[in-house]
Amino acid sequence: MNIVYQSTRGGEKGLTASQAILKGLAGDGGLFMPNQIPQLELSMSELAGKTYQETAYEVMRLFLTDFTEEELKACIDGAYDGKFDTEVIAPLVKADGAYYLELFHGNTIAFKDMALSILPYFMTTAAKKNHLDKEIVILTATSGDTGKAAMAGFADVKGTRIIVFYPRDGVSRVQKLQMVTQKGDNTAVVAIDGNFDDAQTGVKQIFADKEFAREMEEGGFVFSSANSINIGRLVPQIVYYVYAYGQLLAGGEIADGEKINVTVPTGNFGNILAAYFAKKMGVPIDKLICASNDNKVLYDFFCTGTYDKKRDFLLTISPSMDILISSNLERLIYLSTGCDPEETAGLMAELAEKGEYTVTDEMKAQMADFLGGFATQQEDLDAIRQVFQDTGYVMDTHTGVASAVYRKYKTESGDEKKTVIASTASPYKFAGSVMEAIGEGALLEDEFEVIERLRRVSGVSVPQAVEEIRTAPVRHTRVCSRADMKKTVKEILGL
């Protein structure tokens, strides 16, 4: 079966997977979607015996139908290797009555590694397949994790450059140090005076600037994206939900066909959307619990059917979730319209012009698999402390939000289904807040002293990614306003 891709807004159709990956964002501002969601060809009991790499192949080959078996396996083998500090890549840890799917064992200790380890392989393979003779410029906005993971993946990859924009005051110290110390002659990091939504909007405007695209082409460059808007990011994320169910089955934790729930701490909506794709492919998932922090725009949306970004932007201890414009939600909106690009484009125009849109009752019914939940900052801290005291398991501040939301849902609904919680970052990435949560308050100490204290208290080894930035020199010091993002890109590329 040959899968092709089209824009959620109708402007582009019939692209191969490699073409969609290269472009990143459609020319009309839409996101690329497959013309159908394929069904898994192996049963869950057959998949239960597979390694992570084997599972990845069985999932990815169904979406990336213009990649040969040899090409796809080379991408998978290159991505999921010794850079992960655990052989199983994405271990499941049972704690507090739930199963924590640890997605932070890659080289930047956050879940973005799961997809961004393979995207450079996809991109360079796609460039060869499409005879691209221009240098690919990866342009991306980050709320803290995507930027570092993307740079780590693309650093010194021939034929590519990467430019990352991040909110100057909207990331943790460890996140910032990971970015500004990044090696690679083809990497550039820019702090902007604004929040993540400002950075993301600025990047989208650059992508949509046709005149600038022509200028780039004349200079020998072409833009692409490493953000979760790129379908090459979404497809690898589906894999770990398929793998998680297989591991529960292999370990005897569930019966074959038994439905589970999935809880995901959510910002840009890509991670939970991947779980929805896994369900549509045949994984027995019941509820998709979308966990928000105090920036609860998604919670309000699933409760009311109205997406309203007109609210204060709050800085929290879970910064990767500090988002008011969840870009990947557009893909779910598109599916809920029956894949109607005109209706989708109209709603996205309303969001841009009025700051809100409301879906129809029919569309809302199509999203019934999703439940919204949110946790306040205090509830986040309480969940981290409670799980640590009860079980000794330490989680970061994003996973803490998901844990708190899961507990509330279970209490209020009485739903006893086995639940997988996406654990999206190492606790060492947000050590100060984690230590505060477990009663060792150390927010005023040096970050690396806090990390050492967390190691002693938790017994969990400090990841190599954290050790490396202790003494690494700062290589990136650029700062710009949102209005100057395009100008800054030109300066970096020498245009």
Ranges of H-type helices in 145-282? 146-154, 173-180, 196-208, 210-218, 231-250, 270-281
How far, in Å, CA of 237 to CA of 58, rounded? 13
pLDDT score at 439: 80
Which residues, in sequence order, are CB contacts of 132 under 8 Å at separation 6+?
Answer: 22, 126, 222
Over its C-alpha atoms, the chain yields an Rg (Å, rounded) of 21
Q: Give me the active site residues, please.
A: 112
Q: Confirm if 437 and 381 have CB atoms less than 8 A apart.
A: yes
pLDDT score at 444: 55
Q: pLDDT tens across 23-61, in order?
A: 998 989 999 999 999 999 999 999 998 999 999 999 999
pLDDT score at 226: 84
Strand ranges for 334-452 from DSSP E: 356-358, 370-374, 419-423
Residue 58 neighbours by CB distance under 10 Å: 18
Q: Confirm if 275 and 285 have CB atoms less than 8 A apart.
A: yes
pLDDT score at 441: 66
pLDDT score at 278: 98
Q: Residue 440, Cα to own-chain centre: how many angstroms?
A: 30
Q: 140-165 in b/e burial notation, b at 16+ Cβ within 10 A?
A: bbbbbbbbbbbbbbbbebeebbbbbb
Question: For the chain, which residues score pLDDT lower than 50?
Answer: none
Task: Find residue 372's DSSP bridge partners.
Answer: 290
Residue 21 has phi, psi (to 5 degrees) of: -65, -45
Task: Find residue 101's DSSP bridge partners.
Answer: 92, 422
Quick one: the chain helix, strand, coil %, rounded to 5? 45, 15, 35
